[in-house]
Amino acid sequence: MYQQVLEVLRCCKERNTQFDEDVKVMPMVKTPQAVDLAEESEMIDCTLMQRKKLIIEELFSSWNNTGVMSLLRPLLLDVVPTIQQTAALALGRLANYNDALAEAVVKGNILPHLVCSLSEQNRFYKKAAAFVLRAVGKHSPQLAQAIVQCGALEMLVVCLEDFDPGVKEAASWALGYIARHNSELSQAVVDAGAVPLLVLCIQEPEIALKRIAASTLSDISKHSPELAQTVVDAGAIAHLAQMILNPDAKLKRQVLSALSQIAKHSVDLAELVVEAEIFPVVLTCLKDSDEYVKKNGATLIREIAKHTPELSQLIVNAGGVAAVIDCIGSCRGTVRLPGIMMLGYVAAHSENLSMAVIVSKGVPPLCASLVEEHEDHIKAAAAWALGQVGRHTPEHARAVAVANVLPTLLAMYMDTRSSEDLQMKTKKALKNILQKCTYLPALEPLLHDAPPNIMKHIVGQFSKVLPHDSKARRLFVTTGGLKKVQEIKAEPGSLLQEYINTINNCYPEEIVRYYSPGYSEILLERVENYHPVI
């Protein structure tokens, strides 16, 4: 079975030049099995068909027991450089595949060999070795910690100074994967002196290198403000800001994500990012054809807007709100989420900003996203944002209520299928808006289905408005509101009862009695008990 598989595998790699090398290698290696293993391990990425993949998986699980690492290790120390490179590549691909194999690589004591021989080898070996480190480091923090402990970081940093862009790319990719896991590892990467070299890499002309360097900087700076400060001190912001204009979509993604990771930690960092004159250029990113560029652009604007009212004011003055609203309108799904949150943050700061959001026609897209989206967390974000917009004054609440969104919020609150988070956010948003809403036509439909804790607010609002407005009183009666209010059962002495009393006091006695439940029975009883006077 094994031999058949080997034959099948061999058929597909006709033009693999490494086959020639391995043919040369064959007489020199002790067991032919090792050669086959080496060949097959290179084949992993070449084979595309599903069945072969399944076979390979079985092989892998069996190889773990057969001690692949101990076979590949001596190949690493071989005299012929090509064999070393091929062996390193094979290790890299093995480790890339799953984390059990990566652990086997670490346990097989291979990393110190790799690290030691990295300094005096040629660029292909360096690329392959960096690939191995990347593949091992990407699976979990423990493996990345093992890499750091065997002193690989210094070697990777040395690779970053190399002339060949491929080597730099591989090294910075490895550093990026290591720094991604947690802040201690990021700190270790920074302590090895990687950040200035990465900033130099960003300025190189090769696009792939720029991408990887930008993503590594983003991974480093996302953990803590000190790390972000370190990245900023190396002068990264200016270069990143220049690269926003680059037409390559993937590069823009990484650059925007790096800037947003820097800006999210504190007000000073956000101000530094803003001072790099990204507005209004960033707004063009919101119109890009690539979804993730739009998402990252919206994330960057959100992180800046979140800190202080002054920063939000700056964004509003630059027309950012309009751009974000258009962006929300044109996207679907999780791509909308940062845009929605950005509107929420801007509206949360002050009532003038919230009014600016309303004036820029922000409420309809928020309502649309509340209704259309399927994911609960996006709906929750939209509910929160609407709550922030409508919470300030009656004008704001009116603007939100006119968009007919309150029944939707109530329905979501009462729906048993919505998650707890969504229910809490809709409840909070409803409470905040209702406490300021004086627009009675929007409150009417809510009277009929609201649960008691929301009913309290609705009835409270009615009790505040009705005593002063006669037209509203008339409307209230004709639309059946008074009848509904009479049907509400409230405990005497509670706030709800007080509100109901206030409402009842606005109307003459007979009307109140007429609408109280069971009035028709009372009338009929009176008819029964009446003795006609003949």
Partner 1 sequence: FYIFRSVDEDRKIEYKAAIKIQSWFRGCRVRAYLRYLNTMVIIIQKWWRGYRSRRYFRKMVETAYFIMKMNFYNEMAVRIQKRWRGYYIRKYIHNYYALKKYLEAISVNNEIVRNELQEYAEMKENEEKRKDLEKKEKEKEYQARKMHYLLSTEQIAGIYNSPFRKSPDPMELLLRNSKPLSHRRQQVKSPFSCEVYDWPTCKRPPIFSTAQPLPPIGRQKPQGPFRDTAEVLQQRYKPLEPTLRVAASINSPLEKAREEMKKEERRNRIHDNEFLPFSSYHKNEKYDPSIHRSGKYGQEIYGIKQFREVQPQKWVANKDFQTVLPSIVLFEKFGKTYSRAGQIV
Binding site for partner 1 (CB under 8 A): 205, 207, 245-248, 280-281, 283-284, 286-289, 306, 309, 316-319, 321-323, 326, 345, 348-350, 352, 355-356, 359-360, 384, 388, 391, 421, 424, 428
Kindly state the smallest distance separating residue 322's Cβ from partner 1, in Å: 4
Class of residue 267 by CB neighbours under 10 A (exposed 0-12, middle 13-18, buried 19+): middle
Kindly state the smallest distance separating residue 325's Cβ from partner 1, in Å: 8
Kindly state the smallest distance separating residue 318's Cβ from partner 1, in Å: 8
3 state SS of 99: helix
For every residue of 333-397, DSSP letters joined together read GGGGHHHHHHHHHHHHH-HHHHHHHHHTT-HHHHHHHHHH---HHHHHHHHHHHHHHHTS-HHHH
Contacts of 61 by beta carbon, 8 Å cutoff, 6+ apart: none
Kindly state the smallest distance separating residue 135's Cβ from partner 1, in Å: 25
Kindly state the smallest distance separating residue 205's Cβ from partner 1, in Å: 8
Which of residues 289 and 416 has its CB atom nearest to partner 1 in the complex?
A: 289
The encoded tokens of residue 194 equal 């990687």
Question: 269 and 235 in contact (C-beta within 8 Å)?
Answer: no
Which of residues 280 and 452 has its CB atom nearest to partner 1 in the complex?
A: 280
Kindly state the smallest distance separating residue 360's Cβ from partner 1, in Å: 5
Question: 439 and 402 in contact (C-beta within 8 Å)?
Answer: yes
The C-alpha atoms of residue 294 and residue 29 are separated, in whole angstroms, by: 54
Tokens 């099995």 correspond to what residue? Answer: 33
Which of residues 157 and 305 has its CB atom nearest to partner 1 in the complex?
A: 305
Kindly state the smallest distance separating residue 280's Cβ from partner 1, in Å: 5
Which of residues 27 and 205 has its CB atom nearest to partner 1 in the complex?
A: 205
Which of residues 345 and 476 has its CB atom nearest to partner 1 in the complex?
A: 345
In angstroms, how far is CA 90 from the centroid of its own chain?
34
147-141-85 Cα angle (round to 5): 35
Which of residues 294 and 473 has its CB atom nearest to partner 1 in the complex?
A: 294
Which of residues 359 and 524 has its CB atom nearest to partner 1 in the complex?
A: 359
The C-alpha atoms of residue 387 and residue 430 are separated, in whole angstroms, by: 7
